Every structure is written in structure tokens, then in C-alpha cells.
Structure 1
Amino acid sequence: MSGISGTSAAAPTAPGRLPLIGHGHQLARRPLEFMDSLRSQGSVVKILIGPTAAYVVTDPAVTRRVLVTEVDAFAKGGKIIDALRVFFGDGLATIADGDLHLKHRRLMQPMFNKAHIATRGDVMISHVRTATEAWAEGVARDTYEDMNDLTLSTFLVALFGSGLPDHVEGEFQSLMPAIMRGTIRQTILPGWVTKLPLPANRAHEQRVARLRALIDQAIDHHRAQLAAAPDTSAGPPAGCPAHAGSSTDGPTDSSTGDSTGGSTGNSSEGGLFSTLLTADDPETGPFSRQQLQDEAITLLTGAIETTGTTLAWTLYEISRNAEIERRLHDELDAVCGDRPLRQEDVGSLPYMRSVLKEAMRMYGPAWLVTRTTTRPVVLDGHPIPEGADVVYSPYVHQHDPDVYADPKTFDPDRWEPERAKSIDRTSFLAFGDGRRKCIGEEFAWTELLIVLATVVQRWRLTLTSAPPRPQAIVTVKPDKLSMTPQLRVPKTTEEKAEQPV
């Protein structure tokens, strides 16, 4: 690969464009198939969205140059980022590159410290257990909706603490899917259409305004909790990098600098968001109300869209493969026996982690990401002008047959340590890469493992709808996924010992 250098030759244009709308109709009607087909056209392929050109990178090695090695030439931007900024504002996912982004990331990092997340683990487990115990055995459920509702409500408990008004959680759940659909609409349509006073545009603006009002209520709720909490609950979390001089209650993992055990004095009523409410930059001071809103919306969107989608697909794949299900049950029974999951169990589920990682590989989570060139560049031999959109697709990279053997097969064992050595790590982009890599990766893994382990420990789910088809919205979601829960009784140590070998 020549990267951003070499002899220039115009990037090939994808076939099938139409007058005025370019390739917009293909992105609207069959986005995953269209993006995947571009791999055969070259490592960089030009497409047209209306009259505007965008350059799609289909080779993960070239994408790494965009995200890591030549990152200064590719700023966070493009049509999808512009559309997301309508309701994210300047949250960490959409804020422009530069000092402000680095400052926000530094102030937010303690929120996602491993030891800090661990203080919320048992509260999250309790919430998931209560929610899933209410399922009725033998009654079909919308699993995609269940997982989105469950991950959102669990994240709200982790983020803002317990006691959030019911109407706030309910409105979050109803608003977010409609807002994300409106965002995709703004991404695909020409910019001038999204600025017209059309009913759809007005409805999108009203939903965004209502979302911000709800965020304000959640922030005020959490401030009130902090004010009412005993002084001992306001101390820094163990292992928190923002308080390097604080003592920890457990050993430190030297590879990460994170505490690997122990607990803090945080009350069960607290939440991770206290990190932002108490953050104070020496130069610019604490986060403003607008900045708190922006970051909260960014975090919540990641919680409902990516985590919930991953869990829904994972449960579907488990239901299709009895051997995968058996191995998950064996692992859970060996770790927990017939007692409920606990926070300290989460790190002892390597096969479950492989199952989740394979679901991320196969279904996203994000399927389309954009950057904007800050200067004229030559990308893998193809000239790209300043200000152009550069697009890459984690979905396309994670289905590359040159990297993943039999990419359409759900195979958790491909992540077994020895086999995984043959996989180019740059091709797995579920959490991005480089300095814009997802700050919440550690939390995402914790929530994914907690929800999946709690569900699988109690229930066996069987598919009652037709096999779902992938739909590219913001994530790659199932078009329909109905499953029926049946109670499962975990095997005790004695029962497993009695099984024939």
C-alpha cells in the first residue's frame, strides 16, 4: 500500500449512479450490499450523494492510515457527522479535532476507568435481573426492543443513579429511535432538502429539543442526589486516574494502570455522571450546562443503539446454534453455579466475550463512518481534494474474506487466542481506532457481559419470527426479531459431576 503518497490516478467511480441523486438510491435501498460491492472496485472508490462526491475506503490497511498514521489529514466530519451534530452538539463523538476534544476526553476518562465502572456493576446486575425476571415464560417478545430498552435503562441507572423519574426513561426510549431515523434521513438527502420547513424536518427538530429537556431533568436529578449524599460518597473512585494520589482497595493491573479489585465509598444512589458534574479544568473551569447535555446525549445514544443491537443479534445467533448455547451454559454454571451473577464474575467469562465479539464483527455496530480531508491528499494512489468526505465501513471491513475466513458464518472460536493471531487487528473497528477510539469501550464490554450473562443464566430463547434481515440505520439492526423465553435451571456442581463423561 502506498498510503498517502505515490503515483496519482483518479479513484474509480462506483457503477449505478443516477442523475441528480447519484448513488443515493442505492444507499437508501440496499446500503450494506452496495457498500460491500465496492470492495471489488478498488481500495478507494468514488461515490456520489446527490452532486457531492465521497470516497469510500474498502481496505482496512488504508483505513488505518485515515484513523491513525495520517490522522491530521482527516478530521472528524462529513455528512453523517454534520447530521449527528444536530442533536449531539459538541459531544465527544462529534466535537472537532483539537485541544477542546482532548480536554473533553481527558475530563471524561475517569468516568470509564475500570475500577470506577466496577462500582456500578452489582447495581446494574440487580437492575437487569429485576427487569428480566418479569418476563412471562412461553410468551413471545420483541427481542430487539427488549434489548434496547434494557440496555438504555441499565445505562441510565449506571449514569445517573437510581430513582430517575419513570417518564424520563420512557420518553428516552420512545424518542431515540425516531431521532436516529431522522438523522439518517438528513445524511442521505441533499442538504438543501433538510433545511426546508417540511413536516419531517420540523418533527426532527422538536424531538431533539424534547430530548435536551429530558437530559436537563436527568442532570438536575443527579445533582440533587449528589447534594443529598453523605460526604463519604463524594470521594474519588478507587484507581481513578484523575486522582492519582488516592489509595486503592485492590491490586493494580500494570498493563492498564487500573485497579483490578475492591470497591469505593460511593453510595448505590450515585452514578458515573458525577465525574462530569465535578470535573474542573484548570483553564476553562467545569463543564457548562450545554456541554453536559451534549456529552449525556452522546453517551446515551451509544448505549441504546450499539449495545442493544449487539445483544439482540447475539441472542439470535445463540438460538440458532445449540453447541454455542451449551458452551455458554457450561461456562456460566462453572463460574456461578446456581447463584446469581456478581460483578467479580464478569472477567471470568472468556467464551461469552468471544460470542459477543463475533456478533460485533458480523453486525457492526456502526456501519458507516465519515472523515473530511483537511488538505489535498493522495490516498493509496488516488488524489482526493481538500474538504472531501472520506467514508469507511466497519461492516465492510469485518466481512472481508481476505481477513476473516468464511465471514458470513458466526464463529466465536475465531477469537480463540491462537486463531485470533492470524486476524489483522486493524480490520476490527467496532470501537473505532486512533485518538477518536470509543472512550466507553470498557463500559460497553461490562454492560454487554452483564446483560447477556443474566439473560442466558435464567432463560433459553427460541426464535418465533422469521429469521431477521439486517437493516442499516445507524447500527445494523434486525428488521424483526421475536423470541420466546423458557426458564432454565443452572446445573449445580454436584449435578455436573454426575454427568457422564
Structure 2
Amino acid sequence: MTTTPASPATIPTAPGGLPLIGHAHHLARDPLAFITSLRHHGTVVRIRIGPTPAYVVTDPALTRRVLVTDAADFAKGGKIIDALRVFFGDGLATIADGDAHLRHRRLIQPMFNRSHIATRGGHMIEHVAGAVAAWPDGTPRDVFADMNSVTLGAFLVALFGTDLPTHLQAEFTALMPEIMAGTIRQTILPSWATALPLPANRAHTARVARLRSLIDQAIDHRTSAGPAAAEGQLDSAGPSCPHAHQTTQPDGLFDALLTDSSLSRQQLQDEAITLLTGAIETTGATLAWTLYEISRHPQIERRLRAELSAVLCGERLTYDDLDRMPYARQVLQEAIRKYGVAWMVTRSTTREVDLGGHQLPEGADVVWSPYLHQHNPAHFPNPDSFDPDRWADRRSAPRGAFLAFGDGRRKCIGEAFAWTELQIILATILQTWPRFTVTSRPPRAQAVVTVKPHPLEMRFTQGPA
């Protein structure tokens, strides 16, 4: 008796596609509802971005195959990566798989080791404390813009050192949101539309050129400043509340790349852009959503403040304190789970491949969505609720269901830095401002590159709200 091989499963197509633009109108109007709805149509679902088909993977087990077990068959690529590569070059996040990627990763990895990050922790804390304390008492503020600004400032201190000129930091802060919005526009529109000499396309190109110029100025500033000497000394808050001020260094993470003579100025720019785009708006969005959720859940705020008080004993925050605040990390992780922060990522098949019984052609765009997986009720009960206690046991999430930092050989290299920055900024805001309340209507989740709150205004006060 012979066994007949199973026929490849038919790949379902998402409903609602239109001629010429495909499902681009869904991705532009309500992308989060659209991407999560695809789970109901199959484990792999075909959509069209313009005339180009793309295959959305809705099963975490299959996504793990794409990112880890069969990663050689799914190269870093696809419409989003191609759009990023056109404007941002070959940084670590966009460079093709192969020897060049491995060489870049090995070169950059030491910058983001915990021990290396720790040497910058004190200066990051100092910068964040100054920025947060400067907010006027009682004045409604655009929280997403504030979080991006504070995050960018802290990251620039870590990346380029403590003496980056103020005008450079201001221009970075102004440029990055516009660049991120322009980049996602390039990914959801047909290629023929993005190639036209339209004002929006020309403006995006000009902004990226200006960003490269700013990075050049920051690099020139670092190379002209020369190596900085280590400074700082150990201090103790007493035996009843162990609390030490650690030794820090004022030079930047980027100095490690500046000493490598094999990197051209173009490659240094590419890597700096990669680091900036990967570390700023994602962190800013997470913090903005975290503050919003804290404001809605008084019991969560009370637990956070009690933990902070017990750890700090009224003293200034230090890097060593971060590991002693597990509940703060749970709150941040739940914000990352609920809001993404990246909602759509692409790969490209290197050959014809079978994925869960579905035959994908060579060169196909394969889409995976952290947002989709992290809102699957089969893995995260009541996914729209904000429940930090679901992370009390870190094994609670099924393998591959929490993918905010990716997985496999292209996993986010800056994960440890992101956690450090998130915890520093959240703890500093809680320590600086006893009260904060939302003054705008409830924000809508707006998917650009990240999932950001729009609008979100809050009032920070020292006295009664």
C-alpha cells in the first residue's frame, strides 16, 4: 500500500482587497484591527500591499520557524526592510544576512553588554533626572513627545557622551518623529507612488540627508574631543538601606565603533541611524503607554511607589537599584505586550519553502507581527486588559508568543539597554512627580512604525491633582 503525499494547503487570502492598492487601505486606516483579524483566517494568510503579495504568519510556532529554526530560508528583507535600507543604508538592522551581518553584530555586541551599559548608567540617570524635573508643575504636556525627548536625550548621552552640543540634540529630537512617519509611509504605499517626485517623498529624502549630517557632526565632535577619563566614586547610604553610587564614564557607547578603522564614514552613519531608530520611538511609546495605564490603575501605581520607596529609601536612583524593582519591570513588560511596540516586521524567502503545509515561493514577503501574537487570547487571556501580574512568573508566556524584541540571530541587540532606559525613566518620573493625571480624551492606538498613543496629554503635579 502506498501513501499519497499530502497536497500543499491552500493559502487563504484576506478579504477586502482592492484593485491596484490591495489591502493598503486597511493597513493605513486601521492596521491593528486588520492584522489581528487575520488570525481568524488561517495560520498563514495572504495579503496584498499594492500589487505585491505578502504572507502573514499568525501562529507563534510558525513564526519561530521563520526567525529561529529555519531562519536561513527567511532572510532579513521584505517591503519594510527594503524601505528602511533605501534611506538608512546597511546598519545592523537592515544589512542582509551573511558574513557582513555577523561581522557587524560581533563588532557592536560589546557596546550593549550589561557591564558596558552600567558604565553609562549614572550619566543617563543624571540626564533623565534633570529633564524630568524641568517640567512645569501642573501644566498639561504631550506625553508621547516628552517620552521621545527624554528617551532620545538619555540615549544620546549613552551613545555620544555627556558633552554633545545642545543644538544637535534639539535637531535630533525634531527630526526623528518625522523620519519614522515618512518611513512607514514608504512601506504601505506601492513602489510607483513612493518613486514619484512628490513633496512628501522629497521631504523624507531631505530629512534623512539632514539626519546623516547631524550624525557626522556628532561623530566629529566625539573624535575631536578625544577619550574621556573615568570619573566618579563609590558612596554608601548606610547598612539599613544598601545604596551605592557607581563609578561611571562620560565617554559614549559609539566610541567603540570610532576606534575601528575598518568602518567607513558611511558605515558609521548607517550604524548610528540604526541605533537611533531602534532605540528611541519604541522606548518612548512604551513609556507613554505605561504612564497612561498607571494613571488608570491606582492599585498598580501604589505598588510601584511602594517598591520604589523600599528600594531607594529616599536616596537618589542608581544603576544597581534597577534589578531590585521587579514589579516595575512587570509593568513595563505588560505595556510592551499590550502595545507592541513594533506591529509588523518582514522577512523574505530565500527559496521555495514549506511553512506549516503552505508553499511559499522564492522571494516572497513574509510578515510576522509581535502585536498580533501578543494579543492572542489563547496565549494571553483577556489580552486587552492591562495585567502586570501575568509576568510574575516569567515562564507564563508560551515560547514565541512574546516577540517584542524578535528572536533568533536577528534578535534586537539592544534589549538589555532598552530595559535599562525604560526602568531609569519610569523610576525617575515616579520619584520626581507624586501625581500625574490624564487631561486629554483617552488615546487611540496609532500604528506608525511603533504603536503610539494619540493624543495623550497629562498633568504632572507636586501637590493635589
The letter of the residue matching 1:62 is: L
Tell me the CA shift for residue 391 of structure 1. 0.2
> Residue 427 of structure 1: SS of its match in structure 2?
coil
Question: Could you tell me how far apart the structure 2 residues matched to 1:187 and 1:474 are?
Answer: 10
State whether structure 2 residue 458 is matched by structure 1 residue 483: yes
Match of 2:404? 430
Conserved 8 A contact 2:151-2:283: yes
Tell me the CA shift for residue 87 of structure 1. 2.6
Tell me the CA shift for residue 263 of structure 1. 6.2
Give the structure-1-normalised TM-score. Answer: 0.87
How many residues were matched structurally? 447
Tell me the CA shift for residue 262 of structure 1. 10
Conserved 8 A contact 1:47-1:56: yes
Distance 1:6 1:162, change over 3 A: farther
Q: 1:351 aligns with which of 324, 327, 331?
A: 327
The letter of the residue matching 1:455 is: I
Conserved 8 A contact 1:457-1:488: no
Q: 1:466 aligns with which of 431, 441, 448?
A: 441
Q: Which runs of 5+ in 2 are unaligned?
A: 232-243
Question: Could you tell me how far apart the structure 2 residues matched to 1:208 and 1:422 are?
Answer: 41
Match of 1:111? 111
Question: Could you tell me how far apart the structure 1 residues matched to 2:136 and 2:188 are?
Answer: 41
The letter of the residue matching 2:437 is: T
> Residue 287 of structure 1: SS of its match in structure 2?
coil
> Residue 383 of structure 1: SS of its match in structure 2?
strand
State whether structure 2 residue 416 is matched by structure 1 residue 442: yes
Question: Could you tell me how far apart the structure 2 residues matched to 1:350 and 1:7 are?
Answer: 50
Match of 1:385? 361
Match of 1:399? 375
Question: Could you tell me how far apart the structure 2 residues matched to 1:263 and 1:288 are?
Answer: 35
The letter of the residue matching 1:405 is: P
TM-superposition CA deviations, 1:63-100 (whole Å, max 9, x none): 00000000000000011101111232101000000000
Tell me the CA shift for residue 421 of structure 1. 2.9
> Residue 197 of structure 1: SS of its match in structure 2?
coil
Give the structure-2-normalised TM-score. Answer: 0.93
Question: Could you tell me how far apart the structure 2 residues matched to 1:448 and 1:423 are?
Answer: 21
Distance 1:6 1:31, change over 3 A: farther
Tell me the CA shift for residue 456 of structure 1. 0.8
Match of 1:137? 137
Distance 1:49 1:326, change over 3 A: same
The letter of the residue matching 2:462 is: L
The letter of the residue matching 1:479 is: H
Q: 1:278 aligns with which of 238, 250, 259?
A: 259
Distance 1:263 1:141, change over 3 A: closer
Question: Could you tell me how far apart the structure 2 residues matched to 1:488 and 1:411 are?
Answer: 28
Question: Could you tell me how far apart the structure 2 residues matched to 1:310 and 1:333 are?
Answer: 23
Conserved 8 A contact 2:122-2:246: no
Conserved 8 A contact 2:246-2:319: no
Conserved 8 A contact 1:365-1:475: yes
> Residue 226 of structure 2: SS of its match in structure 1?
helix
Conserved 8 A contact 1:377-1:384: yes
The letter of the residue matching 2:449 is: V
Distance 1:149 1:69, change over 3 A: same
Tell me the CA shift for residue 457 of structure 1. 1.3
Match of 1:318? 294
Question: Could you tell me how far apart the structure 2 residues matched to 1:21 and 1:301 are?
Answer: 28
TM-superposition CA deviations, 1:234-273 (whole Å, max 9, x none): xxxxxxxxxxxxxxxxxxxxxxxxxxx9966x642x1111
Q: Which runs of 5+ in 1 are unaligned?
A: 234-260, 280-284, 490-501
1:12-161 to 2 correspondences below 5 Å: 12-161=12-161
Distance 1:6 1:149, change over 3 A: farther
Identity rate, percent: 65
The letter of the residue matching 2:272 is: A
> Residue 446 of structure 2: SS of its match in structure 1?
strand
Match of 2:235? none
TM-superposition CA deviations, 1:160-185 (whole Å, max 9, x none): 01121122111111111111111111
